[in-house]
Amino acid sequence: IEKKKLKLFNKIRNKNDILNLYFDNVHVGDLIYDTYLKHFTKPTIDFNDKSLKKLIVDFYKLYKFWKKYFNKNKVKSVVGVHTAYSYGLILRVALNKKIPVFVTSNRFIYKLSNKMMYMHGNFRSYPKLFKKLDKKIQTKARNISKNRLKLRFAGVGGAKTDLITSQVSSFNKKIRKKLIKDSNSIKVLIAPHDFFDAAHIWGKTLFPDLYEWLSFIGEISNEIKYDWYIKNRPNHPGKFTVYQPHTNKVIKKFVKKYKNIKLLPNNYSHNQIISERVDFVLTSHGSVGLEYANFKVPVVNASLNNPHINYKFNINPKNLNEYKYIIRNLHKFKKFNKKIKFDDLYEYYFMRHIYFDKTWLISDLDKMIKELGGYDYQFSEKFYDYWMKNFSEQKHLNTFKVIDNFFNSKEDSISIRHTGKLKKL
């Protein structure tokens, strides 16, 4: 390992070199990158940080351990919990060995493959699967989506609007003093992400990380005379109280450096921003891609690995040069909103939030989260107390049947086809 590490370090000259890092023929760069950001609470890679090299060596040791383990033992399958960070390393090694790999929680089961190495990576199959549904079911599906979105835009958060991690709505009804000025300039809202939370959750973006993306926008704001605004998510409870203050701190430094960008309060409602007529929204791969498209506001993504990629209600640049051109020439894309079709929005919503069944194990997620005391507690021993409290032999047998249906289908994600809910729409 000591001999190998010098060769590893010689390969690394910039951030993309880390992202593109392989151990033998196993891709590990994104796992190392995201683990570094998360573990050390860094918004981007710091090459002066000695911890970075130590982390790479630790990853290599862990890789060698799992490679040796699989060579010595006959492993029939690997079941994991997350495809990011060091969690994902054993999964990548297993896939390389052609061993069946599953990732599961109380809200999903995925079967990974070299075509779908990331959990929630099934978004590329949305249009194809929706087309296979009966026309009557398609109509019902869009109506379900339409009603759920109405709730979301009315300020309802949590499981009722399929925002499991966001108990606090970004579409609250609180009216503040108007902060978006009236002018003839193009108004641009930047919707940043948590810099530390699985930046490559779906794979590479057009930038090495979310901080590099934001810095790029900052530099353009010095050149192009748009009315620039930036707003972080509302303050969420639970684990977000640990990480969100760090994101807030980074963004405050950002607007001090780039003085043409105005910071809006975290609880400044998206409903109010929309009513004050923002013209464009910039995100890497966020849910604003759906939400603002619903109000005919063009959204520009900075990643080809975003869940909206197979639909035409967002602007999806194919490469960095095209992205630069679009951001510098937004006036040429003002009529993009005419291309946005509501049926596409509703189809996407149904596939993302309903078709792939988040209630395969727990029938009422909203009730569970409330009884446990918050989103985070589903990952604690409290979950097992809740499970036992609501246990029955019949439920247990039904769960086995659902898993069998999924496993025997050879599909990559558990869905309402496997849970029997498709027929009940």
Q: How do strand 261-263 and strand 227-230 relate by DSSP bridges?
A: parallel
Strand blocks (E) in 65-128 = 78-80, 101-105, 108-112
CA dist., res. 322 & res. 328, Å (int): 10
Alpha-carbon radius of gyration of the chain: 22
pLDDT tens, position by position, for the chain (425 residues)? 778 888 888 889 999 999 999 999 999 999 999 999 999 999 999 999 999 999 999 999 999 999 999 999 999 999 999 999 999 999 999 999 999 999 999 999 999 999 999 999 999 999 999 999 999 999 999 999 999 999 999 888 777 777 776 667 788 876 678 999 999 999 999 999 999 989 999 999 999 999 999 999 999 999 999 999 999 987 766 667 777 888 999 999 999 999 999 999 998 999 999 999 999 999 999 999 999 999 999 999 999 999 999 999 999 999 999 999 999 999 999 999 999 999 999 999 999 999 999 999 999 998 999 899 888 899 899 999 999 999 999 999 999 999 999 999 999 999 999 999 999 98
C-beta pairs of 378-385 under 8 Å, 24+ apart in sequence: 378/106, 383/106
The interaxial angle of helices 382-389 and 365-372, nearest 10 deg, is 120
Residue 386, H or E segment: helix 382-389
Instruction: Compute the half-sphere exposure of residue 124: CA atoms within 13 Å on the CB side of its CA.
Output: 11
Q: Using alpha carbons, list the distances in angstroms from residue 64 to 26, 87, 179, 260, 331.
A: 11, 15, 55, 49, 52
Judge if pTM exceeds 0.85: yes
CA dist., res. 316 & res. 174, Å (int): 32
Q: Work out the number of other CB atoms within 10 angstroms of the CB of residue 98.
A: 9
Q: Are 112 and 103 in contact (CB under 8 A)?
A: yes
**For residue 375, which amino acid is it?**
Y
